[in-house]
Structure 1
Amino acid sequence: MKHILLAVMLIMIPAVAGAQTLIKVPLDYAKIQDAIQAAADGDTVLVSPGTYFENLNLLGKKITLASNFIISGNFDDIKNTIINGSQPRHPDTASCVLMISGEDRTTMITGFTLTGGKGTLWLDNHIGSYYREGGGILMENSSPVIMYNIIRENEALNRTGGVSAGGGGMRMDGGNPMILNNIIVNNKGRYGAGIVLNYTSAEIYNNLIAYNSGGDDYGGSGIWAYAGTNAVVINNTVISNSSLKAPGGILFWNQQGVIKNNIVRGNTAPAYPQIQLRQSSSASVTYNDVQGGFAGRGNFDMDPALNPVNYYPAPGSPVVDAGDSGVTFMDVAGIQPGVPMLPSLGTLRNDVGMTGGPFARLLPDVPVSVNEYDPAPVSGYQLMQNYPNPFNPSTNIVFSLPQAERAELAVYNISGQKLLTAAEGYFEAGTHRVAINMNNFASGVYLYVLKAGSVRLAERMMLIK
């Protein structure tokens, strides 16, 4: 925690200290949007923990919109300060956040969970057609900083009134946003379920982009980049995204840019499951750990041995010290000479993935996410026996909900101590499957518990190593 607190303070304090006014929500204003409306350039809108059912518009303000995380460095402030976009005033403006008025690098959003957004029906001026985009965040001709957020369970799926829908996590067009140190998981879209870049430059550093799904129309469920001049994708972990059309992980389509020092593995699609450079794309693809391999200097294909809770590599992982050896890509130096600050490992040479490089910071733990969903109606709450059982170290848990609602699936020891949150959030009615990995736990009997409203269901499972 000391490492992350120091890192956050070094980056964030200038924004707060230089603010003309510190506006607090809900102390000064009950709604975040009202606080944004009242803010002047240079102000900081500081939001206390809570769930805010709002669909925000930054209005071009040069402000910092932040949770208490910028002061506390406590990950709970990220998890518990929630902007939920599921109750929009108009169904065609259902993004959690709009940044569509020329916001620049002096505009920052940091320290939130963004969830429940369903995208905004938006005119693509390049071709004159409407698309529903940006479930979590929609950006147009803007260059803000988006950092230290959890962007999860948003979607862009509804094609009503438009050609298609994409950018479940976020969509940007024009400008040059900086996207770093975010967790972008479990979003859905007919293209670019995680991130869409459309005719734009962007700097994308040290994000976890995982378990996003869809790709029904144009593929690319991790990062989908089209016709931009310079997309910089460096030191990200892009894993377990699934697409019904190629590719699964990263698509550059008539796109220029750099793909460097990333882990790109476990993504699925009918073809090009990990990376595809389509048509006239011109990109440098180097020093990546790509499942199945990819041509380019320094690229390799080795299991990174990621922790299933926080997706950090284990000591001795082949991604440690395997990135570009250039000085500009070095890990952050720690107190001991030649040893990096956590989460980086080994020496100061770049670690491939989100834990390496000059922007690497500790991030919140991430529960393994729901990776299958069947919307068929069910008659009641159900929690099935895990399979396989006994297991080592991975197993699957299936549960069903008769209605859309918030739910939690967690693992406990037999003494009742919670060990792992396997899935948590707002779930549609139907049947869900969760894959969990308990590699870091000892053999024994464990309980897994489903909580939804007043309902509590539990089953036992056995881990044998």
Structure 2
Amino acid sequence: MPFSRPTFVWQSLRDTSIPETFAYQVVVSKSLGFDTAETSAVLADTLWKPIRNLNSGQSYFWKLVAVGDNGNEVVSQPAKVTIQISFAPILPVPNAVLKIRRPTFIWRPIRDTSTVGPFDYQVMLSTDSNFTEIQVSDYFSDTTWKANFSLEAGQNYYWRAFAASNSGDTVAGTVSKFLIVALPVNLYLPSSATRLKQPSFAWQKVIDTSTAETFSYRVILSNDAGFFTAESSTILTDTLWKVPHKLNLSGVYYWKVEGVSDSGGSVFSNVQNFTVLPPTLIPRLPLENANVREREPTLTWSSVRDSSIPDTFLYRVQVALNGNFQNAFESPFLADTSWQISGALQVGGVYFWKVMAFYSADEDTVQPSSIIFFREQPSRIIIPDDKGKIQEGIDVSLNGDTIWVKPGTYYENIFFKGKRVKLISEAGPEATTIAKYVDGLQLVNFGSAEDTTTLLSGFTITGANQVAGGAAIKISGASPRIENNRIVGNSGDAGAIWVEGGFPRIRRNVIAKDTGEAAILFFGNSGGAVINCAVADNFGHGIQMDAATSIQVTNSIIAFNSRYGIRSINGTNLNSSISYNDIFGNSAGHFFAILPSTGNLHADPLFLGGSPFSYHLSSVSPCIDSGDPGYAVPAGGGSRIDMGAFEFILTRGDLNGDGIFTAADIVLELNCVFLSTGNCNLTIADLNCDSQLLPTDVVLILSFVFLGSPFPC
């Protein structure tokens, strides 16, 4: 029953057989035996309210005694009533976790309409649930109270409100529990790692909204987790502190912050550790797995920065042919972030490099950069300087490279392996030879889809012997350019060039004295072009093709071969263009199953000859100025491009076009002036540039050949 002075009510006693009336007394006791009882006055009414408060939490027994006019007495059966006046806490809520040290307590007021007296309240606070030791507030009429002392962090507290009426009755409120935790001091920086040798420390400001106190701070720093050896900052009002000295690289440090209130109380942050890492050092160029085209490449890397100190950094680079940097070469100490390697690297070599940085003000070393590897791959490879053999140069080359070959004889069998590269001799076929290395094997092989960016130029290719299913040069499923070569003295199924399933461009080559079915052999649906070549003096056909082959033969001389000049097998070839060629002196005839186009000659090409035999045109060759007029004329040529591998260059005074000035040129000049015979082109025979051929021109050539006197024009 939630009243301290309850009203007792009962039914009136009636006996209708007699006129007797009754009076009543209420008896109240804490025991069923009514050993100690409180008795009301004699009452005529059927209700009674005690004159004093009953105790809350106490059970009471009560009974009614009725006394009639004639003295008869009737006693009722006892009844039980429990007085339960309670009130509950509001704040802190049960099991609250508080981050303030002086909390405010709020509870519900007591509502007891059975008494007129108000209640005053007192807060009881203890660290144990039995309230063995308590701290109490003063009494007051309000239902809120703010603690006027600071509670201890990390401690559980129990509290209840205690109510007392003006009549002296007391009521204890429900017990509630809460926990005071330490005020948070969150650490911000450094976190788990820093790359600054002299870092700044930052943390969260301590705020207790329950008090007006402010906090100052102290940073505690140590290199051991137990803080056995530690240093402390001065007392700080700010939440930022920079350590006044450099920390050790790779050192692990522990730190915490103490917050000290105005009243002297302390709160501590958790301990946080961090590692001092060296600044980041990043290689820039060359990139990982790059192909470096420069022979002395420049290496670059990121600059090292440590904004916490004024130090500058010095760098040193190491380069080696292995990731362990054995036998590495290294740069001097550098202030810049780039270094050009001095001395050419090995072509095709895989190099590893790293860079190290050093603090200029002390001996600390920045952790080396990551290791980067690159391939030394210049676009120009020189044989034998960079690689001893041509094949080795091709093997390390990349698409787009040029391989230059110095004069000499190279005994090799060469495979291009699909490389889109240019293989060029520096001094031409007169000084650079690719000769047989293995019998029965072609000297040069294109068999991996090489295209027109692949070039073979400037070699004498000789000595291929008994090549089955091939020739000195075998082209299978590829379309390279074969230019400016002498392909001589080879033997096989084809003597010089075997084409199967490709479309090569064969230009300005001398193909002579080769032995095979044909000097150039095209199979099936192969194609390509033979332009400005001299295919002569071969044992076999000059050119043989399949009926399905589609090729162009233009501006070439096909002469003095032991069989047909140009032959088709498996039917007449209707797909090819055979135009502006000189086909002459082939033992079996000019053509077989071939439909030639326009512009072809059948005249002795009048090669310059001599020993060794030269396939240049003599000055009286009918092939001069007889090529396809649609082709550009090379510098020094005549009015049209010539037929054959070499353009007859019109050099004043060199009447036979052999590139030298001898008595033979004097004889030809005499023939022009006095007999009007021979190649009397004014460009070469008119030595004083008067547009006439006169005896004065004979005098000029005599003076030039025997005395060295220059021509006047």
**TM bracket (short chain):** 0.5 to 0.7
TM-superposed deviation, 1:138: 0.3
Three-state SS of the structure 1 residue aligned to 2:393 is helix
Residue 275 (1) aligns with residue 591 (2): yes
1:154 to 476, 490, 512: 490
| TM-score, normalised via structure 1 length | 0.53
Match of 2:539 in 1: 213
Match of 1:289 in 2: 601
Query: Structure 1 segments of 4 or more deviating over 3 A?
Result: 302-306, 309-325, 329-332, 350-357
Please say which of residues 303-312 and 168-177 is displaced more in the overlay: 303-312
TM-superposed deviation, 1:286: 1.8
Match of 2:132 in 1: none
Query: What CA distance in whole angstroms lies between the structure 2 residues aligned with 1:27 and 1:304?
Result: 41
Query: What CA distance in whole angstroms lies between the structure 1 residues aligned with 2:560 and 2:583?
Result: 9
1:111-190 residue pairs with structure 2 within 5 A?
Answer: 111-118=458-465, 120-121=467-468, 132-134=469-471, 136-156=472-492, 166-189=493-516
- AA matched with 1:289: L
TM-superposed deviation, 1:167: 1.3
Query: What CA distance in whole angstroms lies between the structure 2 residues aligned with 1:119 and 1:104?
Result: 27
Deviation by residue 1:394-429 (Cα, 9 ceiling, x = unmatched):
xxxxxxxxxxxxxxxxxxxxxxxxxxxxxxxxxxxx
1:32-431 residue pairs with structure 2 within 5 A?
Answer: 32-69=390-427, 77-85=428-436, 87-88=437-438, 91-92=439-440, 94-118=441-465, 120-121=467-468, 132-134=469-471, 136-156=472-492, 166-189=493-516, 191-192=517-518, 194-199=519-524, 200-214=526-540, 221-243=541-563, 248-253=564-569, 254=571, 255=573, 256-269=575-588, 273-276=589-592, 278=593, 283-290=595-602, 302-309=603-610, 310-315=614-619, 317-325=621-629, 328-329=630-631, 331-332=633-634, 334=635, 341-342=636-637, 345=638, 347-348=639-640, 350-354=641-645
- CA gap of 1:206–1:37, structure 2 versus 1, over 3 A, is same
TM-superposed deviation, 1:119: 5.5
- CA gap of 1:104–1:117, structure 2 versus 1, over 3 A, is same
8 Å Cα contact 2:582/2:600 also seen in 1: yes
List alignment gaps of at least 5 residues for structure 2. 1-376, 649-656, 659-713
Identity %: 31
TM-superposed deviation, 1:39: 0.6
Query: What CA distance in whole angstroms lies between the structure 1 residues aligned with 2:425 and 2:386?
Result: 14
8 Å Cα contact 1:197/1:228 also seen in 2: no
TM-superposed deviation, 1:306: 3.8
| TM-score, normalised via structure 2 length | 0.35
TM-superposed deviation, 1:315: 4.7
TM-superposed deviation, 1:49: 1.1
Match of 2:45 in 1: none
Three-state SS of the structure 2 residue aligned to 1:37 is helix
Query: What CA distance in whole angstroms lies between the structure 1 residues aligned with 2:538 and 2:581?
Result: 17
- CA gap of 1:331–1:118, structure 2 versus 1, over 3 A, is same
List alignment gaps of at least 5 residues for structure 1. 1-18, 70-76, 122-131, 157-165, 215-220, 291-301, 335-340, 358-363, 366-465
TM-superposed deviation, 1:317: 4.8
8 Å Cα contact 1:288/1:352 also seen in 2: no
- CA gap of 1:306–1:26, structure 2 versus 1, over 3 A, is closer
Bigger Rg, structure 1 or 2: 2
- AA matched with 2:582: I
- CA gap of 1:119–1:198, structure 2 versus 1, over 3 A, is farther
Match of 1:388 in 2: none
Three-state SS of the structure 2 residue aligned to 1:59 is coil
Match of 2:98 in 1: none
Deviation by residue 1:142-179 (Cα, 9 ceiling, x = unmatched):
000000111010100xxxxxxxxx21111111121000
Deviation by residue 1:22-61 (Cα, 9 ceiling, x = unmatched):
1111111111111111111111111111111110100010
